[in-house]
Amino acid sequence: MKPCDGFAPAREQAKHEKHKNVLKDYPTFKYIFAFPVFFRTFGALKGLVKSPMSNDKNIDNKGGISEEVTPENSEYKETADYSTDDMADDDQHSDYMPADRFDASAVHHLSGMYKNWFLDYASYVILERAVPDIEDGLKPVQRRILHSMKRMDDGRYNKVANIVGHTMQFHPHGDASIGDALVQLGQKNLLIDAQGNWGNILTGDRAAAPRYIEARLSKFALETVFNPKTTQWQQSYDGRNKEPVTLPVKFPLLLAQGAEGIAVGLSSKVLPHNFNELCDAAISYLRGKAFELYPDFPTGGAIDVEKYNDGQRGGTVRVRAKIEKLDSKTLVIREVPFTKTAASLQDSITKAIEKGKIKARRVTDMTAREVEIQVQLSPGISSDKTIDALYAFTDCEINISPNCCVIDGDKPAFLTVSDVLKHNVDRTMGLLRLELLIRKGELEEQFFFASLERIFIEERMYKEKKFEQAPDQKAVVAFLDVKFDPFKKDLIREIKEDDYLRLLEIKMQRILKYNKDKAEQLMAKVKAEIKGIEHDLAHMTDVTVAWYKHLKATYGKDHPRLTEIRSFDTIEAAMVVEANEKLYINRQDGFVGTGLKKHEYVCNCSDLDDIIIFYRDGKYKITKVADKIFVGKNVIWVQVFNKNDKRTIYNVVYRDGKSGYSYIKRFNVTSMTRDREYDVTQGKPGSKVLYFTANPNGEAEIIKVTLNPEPKKKRQNIFMEMDFSEIKIKGRTAKGNILTKRSVHRVTLKSHGRSTLGGRKVWFDKDVNRINYEEHGRLLGEFNDDDSILVVLDNGDFYITDFDVNNHYEKNIKVLEKWDPDKVWTALLYDAENEGYPYIKRFQMEATKRHQNYIGDNPESQLITLTDTAYPRFLVTFGGDDAVRQPMEIDADEFIAVKGFKAKGKRISTWTIDKIEELEPLRFPESASADEDEDAEEEKEENLDPDAGKSQQQIIDEMTGQLSLFNDEDSSHKS
């Protein structure tokens, strides 16, 4: 049977025409019709049942009976009568009989059957199940739940099982879908006041059974979601009840709660946003100002919104868990990414450990009311690098792709978050205007009848004989109409017959107790209220702004932002994965891999790494780490390749061709195409690498070149030395400098050199709280191997770190700079241990990686200022009872000596201080002397020459294979 025919709905026939046109503008669906196998089963079921309500009442294009909404037919009347006598006769039953399978009227032609039924089904799922409506931000099941809860509302909690049963009057899809939707609404903590075990979005625990938990509408829902006077109604699926087409929500509910649904051929994913920020954005829009909206998740964490794209499809957000260092061996996860739970996060970490991506001893989930997952690290493992690895290889970082798809005008529409907010704000203004108009009409009716009543009583019309002796109501109405003629011009509208009849219902007791003064006061009050409403109607923007301010002031404190908006750094998996494999090489057979454990060990690596290989003929390439891979013979160098590494410099001497010149070059390799062959030489056949070194910090050694002797020359010099520091570092395609035109016998290392690259420049990027070498952020300086970074936090903690780019730093950084052990710091603080008096202290930061605090152990102590000025000056201004005293100027260098950071310091004054300002210094430190220490002992020059102690002739004899009959001294003596 059709999905929309199962319960013989009274409004489904009209919806059929609406559903036919929903997807005609979406070309995706025309390709779905190529799969008749799915529809064959669906079609077989379709032919078994024919809708008994196919020709029912005339239904409007909204799916409900066209009817003017009045207080009399409201669903939320104080004395609501829910009988359905006006809809169906209780004594009248349907004469529907199931169609016989041989009945000719039940026969369907196959032509177009699959296409039409599938479109009906797809349209039904989109409009009636999966996608929220832009008007109130709710899916049909959510709307029906709230409608049922409003009908049941008496201020007390109701069993969820009772709510589910009541909602089934409106929702034709069973209790399971209603119960799940109700629990999800309750977990959002906005519309439903929940009581009992409603599950835990942090752990993934399910809610208790519906019979054990209770719920009622929240105050926010009662104030913003319902108003029967402005609600448009329609018949329920079975025609027995009325339900709202949409609820008159005066708030961007869709953006506050978020929504997710998968329909046929499309999906919707609207992320939740912060309550207060939605109010602020609505006010900004009303005032014509720009605004920005970013998601806020109930699970907390951090979010990078650089590519959010205003919530439109095609955008993405990066979400991270909150990871802290408990100590050097333990990491703690405090908040999980949206859509993840503590259990799923623990599973992903465990899998990463099993695969060797992360080295940790164990993962313990201690989550209860708050998330707490402890990761115990293995000995010797960097906690900073492990944090990056958790983001790279586990669900601690995920990407979420929003897709703001909503139902707008009975069709799916792909909008931006800003579009949805603007629509909701405009609709809120329209609803507020409508409420004011309705209220104004009610007040005008009240004022009108009060005027009639006053005239009726004051003129004593009820005492007239024609009134008392009137034969029937018609005569009374005619009499009153004549009597009211002189007053009609002063009334706000014409008098109708019903108005006269209403006067007849006034009891004599009321007439006897009628007080003219009180009646006039009441009419004046009503008139003033009408005037106020007219003012509001002329200033609807101000009214709407006041509405959102009221919502923020009343409910905003319960909805603080939980998700931190940050810029994330890009983590390369290969840079943070643990080197859990060992790389080996079989030079004889030309194989490299992690499975060649009986052969030569090269280095540690991971399965994500690339390796770079250099050959004797000058060829080189990179390839992926594997268990065993053939790379060829004559390998002179193999190592893990680090992309964008500008510090590793290759020093090479090569021969160009079989008998060409010898060249010397220095180069780095920052990027290559995997498995593509490159050449150090100029590519001539017979070229050969004569000397090769890889220097991770750009070291430049001194080499000794031994030339082949020329037989015809008696006196010749076959030795030459070359310092690589004299060779410029160029690109890998440069041919280099000519070393010699003569034939080279060998090239050997004479002495190791130092780095020619100088110190490494380090930058600090405040946006991501990370250091880098790519010139992002503030330059910290040039760092050598023994240099450190000083970190000072707002709470007084300080420590030093190395300049590894894997380091993580806190958010509350006060100072981050290159550490200078000789720098003197000056701190002014209020010492809580000494009655809160202001103190001044001067000290030097100690070199330790352990957190230490220069303010003190008392958390009540407060820092006034911290400066690294060499000779700081301060101006102290007094206040309170001491405001008459002259300000005091302090020269810190003269006021107090430099002591340890734990010293208490010196009290500035016992008088009441208003403020302390830092002044410009009058003295500056002398510049450091540039003279070198003449007494410094020079380092002994290193000499690694393998031919040390040998004469040139001995070397030539070794090269030519001749036996030297005499030593050099004898030869020189004979000559």
Q: Kindly state the tokens that stand for 569.
A: 């750094």
The values of phi and psi at residue 778, to 5°, are -100, 130
d(CA 694, CA 682): 20
Pairing of strands 837-843, 898-899: parallel
- Concatenated DSSP letters for 135-153? TTS--HHHHHHHHHHHHH-
Q: Within its chain, how far is the Cα of 50 from the centroid?
A: 50
d(CA 739, CA 662): 5
**Residues ≥6 apart with Cβ < 8 Å to 599:** 584, 585, 586, 587, 591
Answer left, alpha or beta for residue 836, where phi above 0 means left and psi between -120 and 50 means alpha.
Answer: left
Q: How many CB atoms lie within 10 A of CB 569?
A: 18
Q: Kindly state the tokens that stand for 316.
A: 């993405």
d(CA 569, CA 796): 27
Q: Kindly state the tokens that stand for 873.
A: 């000056």
| 212 assigned to active site | yes
d(CA 789, CA 763): 11
Torsion of CA 203, 207, 213, 217, to 10 degrees: 80
Q: By C-alpha distance, which of 201, 199, 200, 204 is closest to 343?
A: 204
What 580-589 contacts at long range (C-beta under 8 Å, 24+ apart), as own/partner pairs, is: 580/356, 580/357, 580/359, 580/604, 580/606, 581/356, 581/605, 581/606, 581/607, 581/625, 583/611, 583/625, 583/638, 583/640, 585/635, 585/638, 587/633, 587/635, 588/633, 589/633
Q: Which one of 26, 31, 82, 212 is the catalytic residue? A: 212
- Angle, alpha carbons 238-242-244 (nearest 5°): 120
The amino acid present at 155, given as its one-letter code, is G
Would you call 398 helix, strand, or coil by DSSP? strand
- DSSP designation for 747: E
d(CA 16, CA 119): 10
Q: Kindly state the tokens that stand for 844.
A: 């030097």
Q: Kindly state the tokens that stand for 191.
A: 């519309």
What Å distances lie between residue 731 and 324, 337, 463, 670, 972, CA to CA?
42, 44, 115, 10, 49
d(CA 843, CA 831): 16
d(CA 230, CA 248): 7
**Residues ≥6 apart with Cβ < 8 Å to 793:** 810, 812, 813, 814
- The total number of residues written for the chain in this structure: 975
The kind and range of the H/E element at 521 are helix 516-538
- Concatenated DSSP letters for 758-807? -SEEEEEETTTTEEESS--SEEEEEE-TT--EEEEETTSEEEEE---TT-
Q: By C-alpha distance, which of 697, 660, 705 is closest to 682?
A: 660
- Concatenated DSSP letters for 649-664? EEEEEEESSSS--EEE
Q: By C-alpha distance, which of 306, 308, 304, 332 is closest to 318?
A: 304
- DSSP designation for 71: G
Environment class of 762 (CB within 10 Å of its CB; exposed 0-12, middle 13-18, buried 19+): buried
Q: What residues are labeled active site? A: 212
